[in-house]
Amino acid sequence: MKFELVRVLDDAGRVVHPEREPAIPAPELRHILQTMVQNSLLDEKLLRFQRQGRIGFYLTAWGEEATLVGPVWALRPSDWIFSCYREAGAALFRGYPLRTLLCQLYCNAEDPVKGRQLPVHHTARALNFVSVSSVVGTQIPHAVGMAMAAKLSGRDDVSLVYFGDGATSTGDFHVSCNMAAVRKAPCVFFCRNNGWAISTPRSAQTITPTLAQKAVAYGMPAVLVDGNDVLALAHVTAEAAARARRGEGPTLIEALTYRRGAHTSSDDPTVYRDPAEPREWECRDPIRRFRSYLEGKGLWNADEERAFVQKCEQEFAALVAEVESLPAKSPPATMFDDVYAERPWHLDEQFVELDRELRRHKA
């Protein structure tokens, strides 16, 4: 069972399949590259912040930046994104404020989830960007449920769910694929196959040559795509979303990429991975490839990139100074918020009791 690896660009950024090249306006092409560059810069700075003890936890997306932006470009603002772990760049591309992102990382008083989530577990209701779940694969049935809800409501919205190669070994993945195919749920399953599920190599996950072919057993189409080619990712996602809107059901996309960094700031890949392995993927860097493409079209140059990087660094420094001056955490009483639309009597009692205890200990 063979799948063609779908590409638009070669490793040097030259168009090799013009029939697949999406018609993206020049300002949006620039925005795509800028988001990828910004995400890489943030990864560098925020991982350093974690090492300095300024934030508690972080993870990077080095080498995987195309997967954060290409699929999201192909969606409508009303479509839903169920993220996996490394998709902060997807939220930024949709309009997630950098200040809010930093507040969430610091778990400070303006953290939108009030310290109830790990850092880097972003959620933005206004952007239809659903909270990350650390439990592997649990976001997949949620995405299918949202897709089915849209269909039952008569809307042509689509849900896209990110997950890694390791999640394809979970029951949630298999149950979700089966239900989505049977019900023709307008869901795009986006598997970011980056070679490693923490310390478990892809070869230990499954014996099948591809993960894409798993879709065949569930009666849904699948695509194998170059995960470092942002244009190919936009192309295949646009086709999958259009198919879903026509009522033809889900699609599984396997994006071949590579996790060049550690799994998280708590991980040391040198104990399980050959250090030479990540270097082999540097020549396939998605940012360098897309930058070459834009330079060839006269839409980007080195001076523009230097100016953009300087602007990003200035904005970052100003926001960090502001965010670090905010109160360190949400007030304890906020634990009673967001549970019910109207707070019931027993939580009112607990709120009063907590307030009394806080006053007593403060005194």
Tens of pLDDT along 11-67? 999 999 999 999 999 999 999 999 999 999 999 999 999 999 999 999 999 999 999
- For the record, the structure tokens of 275 come out as 């250090």
Residue 185 three-state SS: coil
Rounded to whole angstroms, the Cα distance separating 332 from 358 reads 9
* pLDDT at residue 279 greater than cutoff 80: yes
User: Is 222 within 8 Å of 212 (Cβ atoms)?
Assistant: yes
Q: Which residues contact 362 (CB under 8 A, 6 or more apart)?
A: none
Query: To 10 degrees, what angle do helices 286-296 and 65-73 make?
Result: 60
Tens of pLDDT along 185-221? 999 999 999 999 999 999 998 999 999 999 999 999 9
Tens of pLDDT along 317-353? 999 999 999 998 888 888 888 889 999 999 999 999 9
Q: What average pLDDT is seen over the chain?
A: 95
Active-site annotation, residues: 259, 263, 272
The neighbour count for residue 353, using CB atoms within 10 Å, is 10
% pLDDT > 70, the chain:
99
User: Is 24 within 8 Å of 234 (Cβ atoms)?
Assistant: yes
Q: Is 39 left (phi over 0), alpha (psi -120 to 50) or beta?
A: alpha
Rounded to whole angstroms, the Cα distance separating 237 from 244 reads 10
Tens of pLDDT along 130-146? 998 889 999 999 999 99
